[in-house]
């Protein structure tokens, strides 16, 4: 049976960095994939290297980058909430949970991808993942999708232990790189090395190998 996948992230590029290969595989498997992107990352500090964006143009640029990345991944159902970047932590958790629940009621996901609560580093990451868990816990146990979280903080990795899932995405790594390249304003400063003709074959191989595994932790719901 095919999965129904709901990816829930605050910013453009969250769906790609560390997750694009996994989502590409879902698409190739024929799974239904829906993406929620809560903000356009309007307050992001990166403006391209060299600079080609500014505070006034960044929203439109990152929206276009998101759509281009989703095209590279194969995601057709993209929900953009257009909320203000760096404010999710100040919204009522129930408000965010209601928005998540509305989409879950529609797509009825079997798998949910987001950041693992408390270990997402960025306040927007944690606020949205917390709200997502609240929305999931509103469902009867038998109807709850599996929550697969990304862990950014070293503390989180130490406390949670080894990831529950490590996906080898080496067979789609070039497609993943295309999605990463789509987020040019955020990734060009380090992705340029992948196509830099001056680097050695071995250096390029090592760079690609770093993008060839993606890891996730299954969220263990408390007694609710």
For the full predicted model, state whether its pTM sits above 0.75.
yes
For 32, other C-beta atoms within 10 Å of its C-beta total 17
Q: What band does 46 get if pLDDT is binned at 50, 70 and 90?
A: confident
Residue 113 covered by a domain: yes
pLDDT at 224 over 60: no
Please tell me the chain's helix, strand, coil percentages from 3-state DSSP, rounded to the nearest 5: 45, 20, 35
pLDDT at 34 over 70: yes
Residue 223 covered by a domain: no
Contact present, 161 and 116 (Cβ < 8 Å): no
pLDDT at 207 over 60: yes
Residue 70's contacts (CB-CB under 8 Å, 6 or more residues apart) are 15, 35, 76, 78
Residue 224 covered by a domain: no
Residue 68 covered by a domain: yes
CB-count exposure of residue 223 (10 Å: 0-12, 13-18, 19+): exposed
Residue 35 covered by a domain: yes
What is the pairing mode between strands 213-218 and 165-168?
A: antiparallel
- The predicted model gives 161-174 an average pLDDT of 96
Residue 206's contacts (CB-CB under 8 Å, 6 or more residues apart) are none
Residue 206 covered by a domain: yes
CATH code at position 60: 3.40.50.10320
Helix (H, G, I), strand (E, B) or coil at 75: coil
Which range is least confidently modeled, 36-50, 61-75, 174-188? 36-50
Residue 51 covered by a domain: yes
187 token code pair: 């990734």
CA distance 71 to 57: 22
Residue 106 covered by a domain: yes
Which residue range(s) make up the domain with 213?
4-218
Residue 14's contacts (CB-CB under 8 Å, 6 or more residues apart) are 37, 115, 125
pLDDT at 38 over 80: yes
Mean pLDDT of the chain: 92
CA distance 124 to 122: 5
Overall domain count for the chain: 1
138 token code pair: 């509103």
């Amino acid at each position: 049976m095919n999965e129904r996948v709901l990816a829930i992230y605050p910013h453009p590029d969250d769906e790609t960095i560390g997750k694009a290969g996994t989502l590409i595989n879902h698409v190739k498997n024929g799974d239904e994939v829906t993406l929620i992107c809560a903000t356009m990352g309007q307050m992001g500090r990166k403006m391209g290297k060299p600079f080609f964006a500014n505070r006034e143009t960044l929203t439109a640029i990152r929206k276009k980058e998101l759509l281009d990345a989703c095209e590279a991944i194969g995601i057709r159902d993209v929900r953009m909430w257009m909320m203000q970047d760096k404010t999710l932590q100040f919204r009522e958790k129930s408000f965010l949970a209601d928005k998540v629940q509305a989409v879950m009621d529609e797509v009825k996901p079997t798998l949910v991808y987001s950041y693992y609560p408390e270990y997402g580093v960025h306040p927007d990451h944690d606020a949205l993942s917390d709200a997502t868990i609240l929305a999931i816990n509103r469902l009867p146990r038998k109807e709850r999708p599996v929550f697969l979280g990304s862990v950014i903080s070293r503390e989180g990795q130490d406390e949670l232990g080894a990831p529950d899932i490590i996906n080898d995405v080496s067979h789609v790594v070039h497609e993943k790189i295309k999605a990463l390249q789509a987020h040019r304003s955020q990734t060009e400063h380090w992705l340029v090395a992948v196509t830099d003709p001056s680097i050695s074959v071995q250096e390029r191989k090592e760079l690609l190998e770093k993008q060839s595994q993606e890891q996730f932790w299954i969220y263990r719901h408390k007694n609710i």
